[in-house]
Every structure is written in structure tokens, then in C-alpha cells.
Chains A and B, each alone.
Chain A
Amino acid sequence: MTSRLRPIKKRKGILGGLALVTVLFGLYRSLVVAPPDAYQGEVQRIMYLHLPSILIAYLSYFLVFIGSGLYLWKREKRDDILAYAAAELGVLFTALTIIEGSIWGRPTWGVWWTWDARLTLTAILLLVYVGYLMLRSLIEDENRAATAAAVLGIIGFLDIPLIHMSVYWWRTLHQPPSILRPDKLPWENVHPSMLVALAISFVGFLLLYFYLLSLRYRLGEMRQEIIARRLTRGG
């Protein structure tokens, strides 16, 4: 079985070191160099976590979608391992996004939580993929669990376009995008030093994500190897 993450696996140590340095530099830019927001003040600094977290969660669910689709099509275990690893990380980053949003919302909106369209759809996304992980542990038969989870992984991904468009389709409390706007370039709407902090923070999250994914993927591979060896010995 050829690994889906072969280029990353061999450079795991370098990737981990690079992620650490970038994350620390991102923290410095976010907390020290970037100026406070004219309206939100210091609390806006939470956005340097919030935006990278949700983008990483989306990336993770995209990998679940791809891995699940390939698994249902070709029935190769490595695609299922990738989808399972990405789902676990997607749940982590979605949960963190909701927590960060909640902490930002309290001083900005005056509430920890509101049943706004984007927030509700993000909570649904989290529940779908928590369901995905539960399904994996509840169904004993490995292949049946993988098939059922793959179907759920694909269906769950359909929530992401809804989350993205929710701020346009419904009158919501959550503001529309500040950076990825069709009518303005990013630097026309956001101060360049804020943009730099956000970009470095995102790169840090991305490197960290691929480091975690490579570890989690290898764990999945080892589990498969253990199951296969036990079956061979049993047979």
C-alpha cells in the first residue's frame, strides 16, 4: 500500500520545526506588531486564530470528501485512512473555531452564542463529523464502518458551501467576508500589517495541520498493519 502522504512523511521533522517557527512568528505579528482594530479594539486579534482555524477545517473536510469519494470508488484502504485522519483534525479545528468565535462574540455582539445562520450551520458541520467519528468506533466491521463513514463524509461536506453563502442568503449577525470580497482587493479593506499577521498565522496553521495530519495518517497505517498481521497470525 503506497502512502497518500509520502512526500510529507519523509520530512515530518522538518515540517514540525518549520510549523513551530512560523506559529511563533505568527503569534508575535498577531499580538505585538499588528495594530488594534479601529472599531473592535484588541479583541479583533482573535481573528488571527479564527480565520485560519476555519480555513483549515474546510481543507480538512475537503480531504475527507476526496478520501471518501476515492474509497467508495476504488476501495483502497489508504483513502479511507486519509479521510479518517482528516475528519479527526477537522473536528478539532471546527470546535476551536466555534470556541474562538464565541469568545470574540461576547465583547463584540454581547452574547457568547446566537442562532445565527452561519453559526448554526457551523455547529451542524461539527455535529456531522462528530457523528462520523462515532460511526467509526460504533461499527465493529472495519469495511462497513469505512463505507458508512465515507457516505457521511461526502454528505457532510455539502454543508460548507451553505456556510460560506449563508451571510449572503440570509440576514445574519455574522458579517460578510472582509478579505475575500468580490468588490475589493484584500489590502483595500484591511491594513497591510493586519494582512501580514493573518497570512503568517495561516501559514503557521497550515504547516502545523500537515504535521498533525502526517502523524495521524501514519497512526492509521500502523493500526491497519496491526489488524492485518493479527489476522494473518490468526489464520
Chain B
Amino acid sequence: MSPWGFVALAYGIVWGSIVVYLFLLKRRYNRAAHELDQLGSKEATAGHEQK
């Protein structure tokens, strides 16, 4: 492999991994936010029913 090949491999792996991690983190974040919203709306519905 040429010297630039090693450089490309290192930069590709590092930035590829960071982008994949960011994507997975955003997905986990959105799922948690959605779950929290659902719990909030269920609580609101239960509150109305009690009234």
C-alpha cells in the first residue's frame, strides 16, 4: 500500500466510525424522545379521565 493509501485508510476509518456513531446516537436519542412524548401524552390522557 502507498503512503497515501495508509493515510486514506486511517482518515476513512476514523471519520466513517464517527459518522456511524453519530447516526446511531441520533437514532437512540430520537427513540428516547419519542418514548418520552408517548409517556407524556398517556399521562395527560389519564389526567383528563380522572377529572
Instruction: Let me know if A43 and B39 touch, CB within 8 A.
Output: no
Interface size class of A (residues with CB under 8 A): 20 to 34
Nearest CB in chain A to that of B21: its residue: A92
B22 contacts the other chain (Cβ, under 8 Å)? yes
Give, as a whole number of angstroms, the nearest-CB distance from B4 to chain A.
6
- What is the chain B residue whose CB lies nearest that of A216? B25
Assess whether B29 is in contact with A106, with CB atoms less than 8 Å apart: no
Q: Give the interface size bracket for B toward A.
A: 20 to 34
Does A230 lie within 8 Å of B10, measured CB to CB?
A: no
Contact across chains for B29 and A218 when beta carbons are under 8 A apart: yes
Q: Is A104's beta carbon under 8 Å from chain B?
A: yes
On whether the beta carbons of A96 and B14 are closer than 8 Å, the reply is yes
Q: Is the interface of A mostly helix, strand, loop or mixed?
A: helix
CB atoms of B32 and A43 under 8 A apart: no
Structural contact, A226 and B29, CB atoms closer than 8 A: no
Contact A208 B18 (CB under 8 A): yes
Q: Are B35 and A104 in contact (CB under 8 A)?
A: no
Q: Which A residues lie within 8 Å of B3 (CB)?
A: 41-43, 107
On chain B, the residues within 8 Å of A104 by CB distance are 6, 10
- The residue of chain A having its C-beta at the shortest distance from the C-beta of B22 within the complex is A212
* Pairs across A and B, CB under 8 Å, 10 listed: A42-B3, A95-B17, A99-B13, A106-B6, A107-B6, A215-B25, A215-B26, A219-B28, A226-B35, A233-B43
